[in-house]
Amino acid sequence: MMHGRARTLVAALTVLLFSALLGFPRQAGVIESGTFFFQIEGDVGIEGFTYERLPDGNLKLSSEFQALSEELVVDFGTDKLFTQEVVLTPDLELVSYRVDSDTGRGRFFVEVTVEDGIATIRFEFVDPEGETERGERQVILEDEVITTGIAASQFFLMQEFLNEKLDLREGERRTLIAFDPTDIDEPFVELVFERLAPVILEDVRTKRQLRAARVAVQQEDFRAELLACESQEEGEEGPCTEPGRFLGFISSTATLAGVRVQDAPGGGALVVDVAPGSFAAQAGLQRGDVITHVDGIRVDDARDLRSLIRFRDPSEPVTLTVLRGNETLEIEVRLSGSRLLVFRVDLFEGGFTVLGEAGSEGAP
């Protein structure tokens, strides 16, 4: 016959066993924290974040963005640009969202609460003159909806979703619906995810190299490449203590500055104007040329040309195939635009360099 203490011990072990089997909430506490470093042209800032498990088993991501460059501080009248908080279920479904920004440009506040699959969005904006705009709206959140937000922390959440729910093979694409709680008018957007070839990253300070998984996420007017740990040599010190750890992202926008085009009657993009002194003019592009290909990819019309160029790295020129009368020419043209590299400064003190695509499986 079992004594009282033994019976209590067995009961406790039974509860623990069933808790594990049934997926009861794991221990509360911080899962990960760090700091993202932003720099685009002269604007510099950091976003500190904490990702934690709450006592009820839900997950919370908190972040705060601080301007570091004088230009940003002067522009906004403060170095504290926003705070953000996202609470999710263990299955990464939205529970609540809040963002608060109080700067020289005005005060912006958004709060979202979810009950029985219905999200209630409330927002308020007060401009510097004191004029107030308020709004409220309810929307239905379907299953498998990704929650986004602002700045780097939204990509951290996307990476968590990829780790837990999307098993993409290289070259595979999936289109999913994302919920943007900061846009009360159009809160749902389509995001296209595509698994790209892994790349090799090199720590600028230590010169240590690691292999990073890469997933492109794109909507109509934005594209970013998410970088996460894929592998690291056994026993080596570094940031990749586990696969899937989010390291940062890259985003580029580019244009053929100074070039106006329209649809060509027989297909392609007809050049109707080239600004003197522009990169295109220096390369030899002329009014009346018809652009048929970009780096060997066919151009169907003017919109297609803009789409093919929009997300290129502006530091790398493109080769345009051009019809000029009866001649077919290839013209190498520099692009205009910007490239944003955001990295975890707590993992890479001096940042990292993308050396190129990785080689065979498991090898930098």
What residue numbers bound the domain in which 105 lies?
27-191
The pLDDT of residue 235 is 60
Nearest-angstrom CA–CA distance, 50 and 59: 10
The pLDDT of residue 172 is 95
The pLDDT of residue 227 is 96
Q: What six digits make up the tokens of 286?
A: 């002329």
Please tell me whether residues 184 and 302 are part of one structural domain.
Answer: no
Please tell me whether residues 178 and 267 are part of one structural domain.
Answer: no
Nearest-angstrom CA–CA distance, 125 and 128: 10
The DSSP bridge pattern shows strands 246-255 and 336-344 to be antiparallel
Per-10-residue mean pLDDT of the chain, 364 residues long, equals: 44 38 62 92 90 96 95 93 96 95 94 96 94 95 85 91 92 93 91 94 92 91 90 68 91 87 94 93 95 94 88 86 94 88 92 84 46
In a domain, 92, yes or no: yes
Structural domain count, the chain: 2
Q: What is the pTM of this model?
A: 0.79
In a domain, 131, yes or no: yes
pLDDT per position as a tens digit, 218-268: 887 788 999 999 865 566 667 888 889 999 999 888 889 899 999 999 899
Please tell me whether residues 161 and 310 are part of one structural domain.
Answer: no
The pLDDT of residue 241 is 81
Please tell me whether residues 62 and 163 are part of one structural domain.
Answer: yes
In a domain, 1, yes or no: no
Please tell me whether residues 62 and 162 are part of one structural domain.
Answer: yes
The pLDDT of residue 232 is 59
